[in-house]
Structures are given as C-alpha cells and as structure tokens.
A and B are shown apart, each in its own frame.
Chain A
Amino acid sequence: MSVPKMSASKSGQSMVTESIRSQIDENLKRAYHEVLTEEVPDRFKELLAQLRAKEAGQ
C-alpha cells in the first residue's frame, strides 16, 4: 500500500514528486470540500419531492 517516495529526480519525466503529489491532492480535497459545503439549489430537493409524490400517487 505504500506509495514509493519519488526522489526529486532530474528526469522528472514520469511522475511528479511525492511532495507535489500531496500538495495537489490537498488542494483537490480543499477545492472539492468548498463546493460540497455550498447550499444545494432548492430545485433538486423539489424535484425529489415531486418524484416521491408522483410515486405515492400511483
């Protein structure tokens, strides 16, 4: 399960270093979390309520 530590290689061709990788992932998590905690537009809750009501009415 361990991720091989990338040395700060001269080649730098194949992969990013472990440091850059973890910074990228940290930013990805932060970015995702920002959007995740936004208020969801009411239209989606309303849509689900409509679907539920329609099914109950059948």
Chain B
Amino acid sequence: MTRPSPAVDPREALPGLLPNLRAFAIGLSRNVATADDLVQETILKAWSNMDKFDPATNLEAWLFTILRNTYYSALRKTRREVQDSDGTFAATLYEKPAHDGRLAYGDFQRAFDQLSAEHREVLLLVGALGYSCEEAATTMGVATGTVKSRASRARKRLAELMHLKDGEDVLSGADGATAAVISRSVIVAA
C-alpha cells in the first residue's frame, strides 16, 4: 500500500480548483459569461495537456497560465476588452461600504474594473492571491522585474482612479452617482 506510486493524478485536483479558476477568470475578465467560457476552455485544454504539467509545480498557477493565455488571445482577436465589462466583478462584490475610514469598497471595485487586464492580472496574483513575484512571473510568462514594476504601477493607477491621495478620505470625493451606487450596495448587502 505504501509503494512509491506516481503522484496522484492532477486531474483529480481539478474539481477542487474550480472556484479558484472561476474567481481568477471573473477578476480578469470582469464578465461572468466570458469568465465561464474561459473556465470551460481552460478545463478542456488542461485535461488534454495534463501530461505537460510538472507535478512538482503549482497546479493552480499552471491552470491560471492556460486561462490567461486563452483570455489574451481571445482579446487580441476581438479587441472587445473595454466593452466587455458588465461590472460583474464589482456587482458580485458589493458589500458593506467603508465606515471606518478605510477605502470605500464600491469605489475600489469600480476602479478595479477600469484597470487594464494586465494590471488586474498582476494585482489578482500578487495582491489578492499572495503569489510571490517569481510565481506571478512564471504564471504570466514575464520577468520578475516586470511583475514588480507592473504591480507597482497597477496599485498607483488604482489609487489614482479612486482619487486617493495621501491622507485623503476617499468618501469625501463621492458625487451623486457614487453615493447612489454605494447605497445600492447597502441594499444588496442587507
């Protein structure tokens, strides 16, 4: 029973990684329909290429690589990135507005939606998932230094989109539309 059998078939790990794949796809594409198509395509590609997966490496990162490559090649074909957003990532995420001086969540989500796909990608991997710059670099197929500078620019861009400056309260800049959305978030969260 304890014979050194080859590692468990990574295919068996796929069901458990579906939520991760889907969350990454939604964060990257900001559109649930697009994201679900991406997840489907990723599953199919991963299944038929599983022999190319190195079990010594991170399966999630390998799947993310397939997914983001699929996404970017579709983007290049359609050039529909900007129109594609249905605000889903934001809509999914409406929760309590900030009441303790931290970033207003609604503002954050809208700003995130406005980032370029590359900026969203690096922030998802490094910021949300806590990937090291090296892991993110492998996943994205770029140099580690590129990840560092891109993550830095992405955070800066996000702060600009939220009109965040040092010591400034993000809610002070809320206009009518923002306030309306924030109040909608309260209703949704309630």
The residues of A with any CB-CB pair to B shorter than 8 Å are 8-9, 12, 14-17, 19-21, 23-32, 34-38, 40-41, 43-45, 47-48, 51-52
Contacts and interface: CB of A to CB of B under 8 A. Distances in A.
B20 A27 contact: no
B19 A40 contact: yes
3 tightest A-B contacts by CB? A32-B128, A28-B127, A28-B128
Nearest to A54: B47
25 contacts: A8-B167, A12-B165, A14-B152, A16-B155, A16-B156, A16-B164, A20-B155, A20-B164, A24-B123, A25-B127, A26-B102, A29-B128, A32-B27, A34-B93, A35-B23, A36-B19, A38-B92, A43-B36, A43-B40, A44-B18, A45-B15, A47-B40, A47-B43, A48-B14, A52-B11
Contacts of B105: 27, 30
A12 to B, nearest CB: 6
Contact of A40 (B11, B18, B158): B18
A23 B103 contact: yes
Interface of chain B: mostly helix, strand, loop or mixed: helix
Contacts of A37: 19
Residue of A16, A29, A51 ringed by the most chain B CB atoms within 10 A: A16
B109 interface: yes
Given A24-B103, A44-B43, A52-B11, A35 B155 contact: no
A47 B44 CA distance: 9
Contact of B18 (A15, A32, A45, A52): A45
A35 B127 CA distance: 15
A31 B41 CA distance: 24
Interface string B71-105: 00000000000000000010011010000001101
Nearest to A17: B166
B108 A31 contact: yes
A34 B152 contact: no
Contacts of B164: 16, 20
Given A35-B27, A35-B89, A36-B19, A44 B39 contact: yes
Contact of A31 (B36, B109, B165): B109
Given A16-B156, A28-B128, A44-B43, 11 more contacts: A8-B166, A12-B166, A15-B156, A23-B102, A30-B95, A31-B89, A31-B93, A34-B95, A38-B19, A45-B15, A48-B15
